Amino acid sequence: MSVYKIIAVCLFSIGTPAFVFAGQSGKGRILVLADKINNKVSPLTTGVCLEDVNHEIYGGIYSQMIFGESFEEPSSPPPITGFMYEAGRRKNDMGKEWQVADNILCAPATEGARLIAENTLLAKGRIGVEVYFDDRTPGVAGLIVKVSDSATGTDNFNGYEISLDPNANKLVFGKYQHKWEKLKRVNCPIQLQKWIPLEVEMGENGIQIFVNGTNYIDYNDSSPLAKGLAGVRTWQHAAKFKNFSVTDSNGTKQIPFIKAANDQVSSMWTAYREGNAEGTFAIETDKLFNGRQDQKITFQSGTGRVGIANSGLNMRGMYFQKDKDYEGVLWVRADKPVSLNLSLEDKSGKTSYAQQKVSVKDSNWQKIEFTMTSSGEDEYGKFCISLTEPGSVVVGYAFLQPGQWGRFKGLPVRLDVAEALIRQKVTVIRYGGSMVNSPEYCWKKMIGSRDLRPPYKGFWNSYSSNGWGILDFMNFCEAAGFVYLPALNIEETPEDMADFIEYIHGGNETVWGQKRVADGHPEPYKLKYIQIGNEEKVDDYYLERFKLLAAAIWSRDPNMIPVVADLVYFKHISDPFKVEGSLTINTLAAHKEILKFAKENNNPVWFDVHVWNDEPNDPDKLHRGMGMRSFVDALDKLADGAQFKVCIFEENANNHQLRRGLGHAHMINEIQRYEHEMPILCAANCLQPDKQNDNGWNQGLLFLTQSKVWGQSPYYVTQMISGSYQPLCVESYVDSYNNSLDVTACKSLDGKTLSLRVVNMDRFDIKTEIDLMQFALAQSDAQVIQIKGNLDSVNTAENPELIVPKESKIQVPGKNERVKYTFPANSFTIINFKS
């Protein structure tokens, strides 16, 4: 045992109350041995994972204001008069039509799609409908009431749901505030092939629910939702609806289900007619521009306008700023010459902030570039393309972005998002995730003019654009000063992978190096790492793909580090060939062969393991997946001299609350004091457009709308740790009540700065004495940076700084005296000492 450990054991084991606090509520002791260096600390453990999921790219960092720029989304289901449609999970619900016949609505089984009646805004009243089920397959269908703030996504709205579950014979009552909360689930006999009356009586606080005239639920909500709209919803079960009715102080009115005229318009756009103009809209599949379909607009007769409008991501609105210019590109064609009107407008279309008329010459595809300056400010604007005279036009692509004033260093990147990431003090960004698993995700489709890049069927979005891809990501990271790490599809050919390395690192004498220069990047990129795939099953197939692609990489650059895209290990690994707790494999046999391959080529290889990090004060949920420690040990046994490291490219959670921030701090603490250097940790998700989740993930660090950005607690934890980074982790010991304190201590190379990082995971304050051994305090005070609050706290667009770090100073004692400090409940604290 080292002399330092002897000292620590003595201090923490003797029975003097002044030294031992583990049994005393609210007390603790920290010992730091400042001259005992445990390991070096990588500066890259404060990274983020950026993925094309939940609109982090399209609707997020990408400066493109139009969502659906390639018109690839199919036409929305034929509209129903007086109702609005919202898809649940886009990739599962698009194209599932809600049919109407004889005033009966036939609703398909969806992932939470909703049909909302437009004129049903109520705080009090009665909503009724009759529901019909053909079978008892799992799933529910029924009413939704007090609906507000609804957009594409399974749970992406506020409101109450009242559903029938014929499989379980249950009545289900719950509440949505952009996430599902079950309130009641009661037994209720549900007959098949019978019309079942379902009614909801709404008071200011109370809700009564009736099935077949019987009151099954009488619920009083302590925090009730205000007024909202009403409609119907299905979840994984088809149903029929009829006799939808609304009762308020004016009496009862029936709202029939009537199929409206079907304008064929790509679903991210809306059709409109003004004045007495007549016109049609059609999806074109001949003489295509660059994808699977284009949009046709025809003005037939009358006066006014016939056109289409785009309101940005999921129609949430575009943000126009007064006296600012906006740049755009259109690709259009017309059988006969026609004038086309472009405009920036308010939501209603009554106010125009900018207009421009352009000419479409003939039936060949024509590129039109334009610039417009907004005369007003509007957070909920739209971009319109219209005709005011007889004729037709086909639009294949539409692009709109802020001028240079609103973009980061002239790149297609939102300026406010880029600046917020820089303020976060991010050190590394990984660009990867399930998006790379799409067969059509290929790097060669992501270069050149963005309007000419082919759209493709993506993993998360079947109608993805290549407007912002791997090279755009790398350009942004270089301009912002971030280390960058892209993931590529494992199905890239070895030839294409070799071309990729030549493109990023090749000189002017190489074919692909010349193309990089022509694309506007004269100097080679500074890329050091490439991940091969994402969350793969590391088996014999992956082994062969990895060997082919890694060999191609090394053939062009022997210094490039390829990274194995592993997944997760929930359980301790004792035997590398008998693995439990993995979601995909039961042996590390392929890992052994990868290590052997790396050794034969005398090159290092890294492994990416993902973890889930939910609750800082629940050991069963704190960084689930920390079987990675035994994973490192298992690789050590298999390495036989091969060089390797293990990283975390996705630290996932199921929330963005303070609890996730504290868990994130705890995770970085553990990684930085781990004796096996884990050089990179990236937290997911880097970005989260507010209230725009399609798949339920709700773990963003930096939130944004079309007009603002703000951080959540894990954003600020990253900022705090990165801003106080020191490269040497020193020995520390902690003794606290209920093991509530997690402590890491790091110092500077010159030994003059000591950064003490403490997570208090308890709901109680911990009064602590701190011994700094072999560290002579030279100043009478120390800097404190701290974030604390309620574990459920989140920052919102309305209150973006509810929970943010606060800085202060504390007085420190003289030589050989302990520092006394009380760490607040549910807090993360950094104390920076100077010697």
pLDDT tens digits for range 30-84: 999 999 999 999 999 999 999 999 999 999 999 999 999 999 998 876 678 888 8
In angstroms, the CA 32 to CA 357 distance is: 71
Helix residue ranges per DSSP H, 567-657:
589-600, 628-639
In angstroms, the CA 487 to CA 530 distance is: 6
Q: What is the pTM of this model?
A: 0.87
Cross-strand bridge partners of residue 399: 329
Bond prior to 603 in cis (omega within 30° of 0): no
Compute φ and ψ for 605, nearest 5 degrees: -140, 140
In angstroms, the CA 12 to CA 7 distance is: 9
What is the 8-class DSSP label of residue 235?
E
What pLDDT was estimated at residue 324?
98
pLDDT tens digits for range 506-558: 999 999 999 999 999 999 999 999 999 999 999 999 999 999 999 999 999 99
In angstroms, the CA 607 to CA 467 distance is: 30
**What domains appear along the chain, each with residue ranges and CATH number?**
3-41+726-787+805-834 (2.60.40.1180), 48-63+409-437+475-490+517-709 (3.20.20.80), 83-254 (2.60.120.560), 270-406 (2.60.120.260)
What pLDDT was estimated at residue 736?
87
Cross-strand bridge partners of residue 523: none
Q: With 70 as the cut, is the pLDDT of residue 486 above it?
A: yes
pLDDT tens digits for range 737-795: 778 999 999 999 999 999 999 999 889 999 999 999 999 888 889 999 999 999 999 99
Helix and strand tally (H, E) in the chain? 11, 47
Q: What is the average pLDDT across 611-629? A: 61
With CA atoms as reference, report the closest residue to 614 among 571, 658, 569, 654: 654
Per-residue tokens: 420: 């917020």
In angstroms, the CA 418 to CA 375 distance is: 26
In angstroms, the CA 117 to CA 85 distance is: 9
**Alpha-carbon radius of gyration of the chain:** 30
Show the beta-strand stretches assigned E in 51-139.
83-86, 99-101, 104-107, 111-122, 125-132
CB 797 within 8 Å of CB 782: no
With CA atoms as reference, report the closest residue to 84 among 162, 147, 130, 173: 147
For 203, 435, 468, 519, 532, the CA distances from 440, given in Å and listed in that order, are 52, 10, 15, 22, 15
SS3 string, 698-759, reads: CCCCEEECCCCEEECHHHHHHHHHHHCCCCEEEEEEEEEHHHCEEEEEEECCCCCEEEEEEE
What is the DSSP annotation of 393-411? EEEEEEEEEE-GGGBGGGS
What pLDDT was estimated at residue 17?
36
pLDDT tens digits for range 219-267: 999 999 989 999 999 999 999 999 999 999 899 999 999 887 778 999 8
In angstroms, the CA 805 to CA 711 distance is: 11
With CA atoms as reference, report the closest residue to 116 among 154, 77, 146, 141: 146
With CA atoms as reference, report the closest residue to 312 among 433, 151, 163, 508: 151
Compute φ and ψ for 47, nearest 5 degrees: -110, 175
Q: What is the average pLDDT across 460-475? A: 94
What is the DSSP annotation of 306-326? EEEEE-SGGG--EEE-TT-EE
Helix (H, G, I), strand (E, B) or coil at 188: coil
pLDDT tens digits for range 343-370: 999 999 999 999 999 999 999 999 999 9
CB 62 within 8 Å of CB 803: no
What pLDDT was estimated at residue 76?
74
What is the 8-class DSSP label of residue 59?
I
pLDDT band at 9 (very low <50, low <70, confident <90, very high): very low
